[in-house]
Homo-oligomer: A and B are copies of this chain.
Amino acid sequence: MSNVTLSHVTTVITTHGRHQQEEQVAIETPYTVALNDEPIGASMVLPIGLAEFGVGFLFGQGYIRKPEEVREVIVCPEGRIAVYADVVSTQPKEVIITSGCGGTGKIPREMLEGAFDPLQECTFTIDELRAFITRVQQISTLGRETHCVHGCGLWADGGVRVYYEDVGRHNAVDKVLGAILLGKAPVRGAIYTTGRLTSDMVLKCARMGIPIVLSRTATSSLGLAIARQAGMTLGAYARADRLNVFNAPERIIG
């Protein structure tokens, strides 16, 4: 029992009969993110790393762009993350535009135009990435316990700088991106996520300038297309003994 799990007695039905068993369930709870006292949106989250989540969420939505914009984050236990930042307005900054298909679909500008700022360049040896993958598998205890959270970590300068878990794969990435904006981790590193690399996941990492993004599982067609446009190294099915690189393998040396 912790502040992010609860115990629940379940009925296990097997081919040999029924028995009771205690399970750990991940806590999912709604939090609203406000920017300069203006409510921006809400998400169901695992209630840990909430300051990072609030800032990363606002980055993902295009409200905050740079670390120097963030002034203060106050996490209220009643379900509100109040971010204060030096931004001109609480309107998203040109990130979200109406899609071309005549609807209200909000497609980020970069996805249509393929114009990204250059990524923060760096290379890693395959041995370093192996150490990264091995390490994040060790520290994702909540994932093993509840099977209901995704993990996301950032490796730089020879070690795992941050690692977060959440009930949503997008939220876990938002927490890492928020940590970068809060000065807790560098951009020049490699990200590993247990979640699938669909378009939104890859896009926010590319917008942040992350050069290498790895997943325990797969990428989608749009995730791959964005990685190619941005020049990002995208690796899938990452294991300690195997990595399947879908784009830009040249950043992995040795």
Contacts and interface: CB of A to CB of B under 8 A. Distances in A.
Nearest to A145: B218
A221 B25 contact: yes
Interface in A1-38: 6, 8, 10-15, 18, 21, 23, 25-34
Nearest to A28: B220
Interface string A103-121: 1111100000000000000
Q: Which 9 A-B pairs have the closest CB atoms?
A: A42-B105, A32-B103, A28-B220, A39-B103, A148-B218, A147-B218, A79-B101, A11-B249, A39-B104
Interface of A: 6, 8, 10-15, 18, 21, 23, 25-34, 39-42, 44, 78-80, 99, 101-107, 126, 146-148, 167-168, 196, 198-200, 217-224, 236-237, 241-246, 249, 252
Nearest to A127: B15
Given A27-B221, A99-B79, A199 B243 contact: no
A28 B226 CA distance: 12
Taken together, the copies of this chain in the complex come to 2
13 contacts: A10-B244, A10-B246, A12-B244, A14-B242, A15-B241, A28-B223, A41-B103, A41-B104, A44-B222, A79-B105, A147-B196, A147-B237, A148-B196
A244 to B, nearest CB: 5
B245 A6 contact: no
A200 B44 contact: yes
A105 to B, nearest CB: 3
A101 B167 contact: no
Given A42-B106, A217-B148, A242 B101 contact: no
